[in-house]
Structure 1
Amino acid sequence: MPFLDRIKSLFSQPVARPKVSDTKAAEPTQQEMQTAVNRLDELATTAILGEIGGSKPQKENRAASWWGGNFLGAQDEDVPVCSQSGRAMHPVLQIRVDELPEIPPAFEEFAVINIWMDLQSSTFWGAENGNGFLVRTYTDIDKLVPLGVGYRESSDLPTFPIFWRETISEQPSWEDMADEVPTNVAQAAADDWFFKSKYSSDRYFELRNKCPVKVGGWPTWIQGADWPKDAQFFFQVDSNDKGKMFLGDTGSFYIFKTADSWVIRGDCY
């Protein structure tokens, strides 16, 4: 199945909805339906979509958003090593926050966010920071220096600039929504209000297909919601050919921030 069709399937398959209750629900009233639609509007939030490449890179400018290399780091930092495997991690995604067309409130304290990964690890899907992956954040870009491989100095991942193409309102997945609406609505056969809402437009799916990096918004779960405890969703990366990132069968990874660390989750078909 093409990747665009797989993204659409996350919203268009009501059979994937979790069962809310064993009790047979009555048909929802008009007021209950309106309550559900209003709650969907309340929960919809801004996602910022990033394309890997697509325009001419400034190869020597590490003070930008990058994929696969050209990272910055603090002067006293080394390339991180996976705490479990002992292997050096590889630069995957650098986000220069002030390049975002809209800065989510949770990002305002940061200037740069980097994620490194042990590309040979199969254990990072639900790992804590430092085991298979590592998130580093910086508050002052002017104090950072080059760290790790530069532009196309490694064959492990291609090196591309990240271009933040568009902001778009994104609704939660069904599993993050079902408990937010009246039970009669959640169990009703009529579900176009959610699966064919104004947020699940053709344009949304086209942008998601083109832009595998997403900052903010909601995690687009595949097999089911898997939120870490007391965590805030920060960004998502989807499998993509251009960046040579393959996560299971067309999967994604999701980065969350807890009170004192970072957590990763992964999901695939």
Structure 2
Amino acid sequence: MRLYAFNKLEEKLTQLGYPQMKESGFKVIKVDLTQEEISGHISYRQDGVYRTINNQAQRGYMYMYSYDVAKHNQYPKFHIMKCKTIVDQMSRGAFNTKYIWSNSNVVDVQERTTRDVYHDVRLSLCGNCAKEAVGTIERTTEEFYQMLLANAALTIDVSLDKRPYNSGEISKIFREMMNYTCNACSLKITDRMDRVYMHMHHKDHNPLNNYPENLESLCYLCHIHTDALHKAKLNKPRIKQSLDYFVNKYKEELVKIGNPYIKAYLTQL
């Protein structure tokens, strides 16, 4: 990373005012969308429905909790944007109080007529969202959840008083400067929706040390193999699962470019 790039990073962060981080790590959340929207916490983007709390933007989706499952012989679809379906519902006054915001792989759905609840349901993506989305899309709530895990799983645990900056914003700026390319294996992420698989790595594990010689842009597979501390995280089932998901999605390209870890990892799948 060249010095001018670091200066640009520092300038960007100064402009952002280094918003203080109040929470860290990935948490499964399910909340009433309308109440969150009234509170000013919800924003609609092309890659998800974002809930912002304490300057931290959490990416998620929305779905209809109470639904005529028996009548339609299917569960409701989940939405990642304000697509044609949502716009139509809003125009008819059929949107407010109907939706839940979540980032979970499974949800609860209530049968509208009987009030019976279906638990741990995996939903499919709305057809209009699929048409209107740009780049690679996650077509089920399970895939969406795995994508979120891939983005959050490799954060090194640091006490909150040592992490005063918005680390997500820092990472985004840095990875953009590196053109979402892995410094170790040269994998380049071109689909905007898959940028979560390219990580910013602090060599000394200190999130405050953003000097150029301490930063690396690494794909998920290279990141997990940087040292023993990262490799130990493979003992956690959710991290192993999310890494398997990434490898399966990019294995052909990883093999083609000669990623140093891909052949050995494929024998473990």
TM-score tier by shorter-chain length is under 0.3
Higher share in helix: 2
Higher share in strand: 1
TM-score normalised to structure 2 length: 0.23
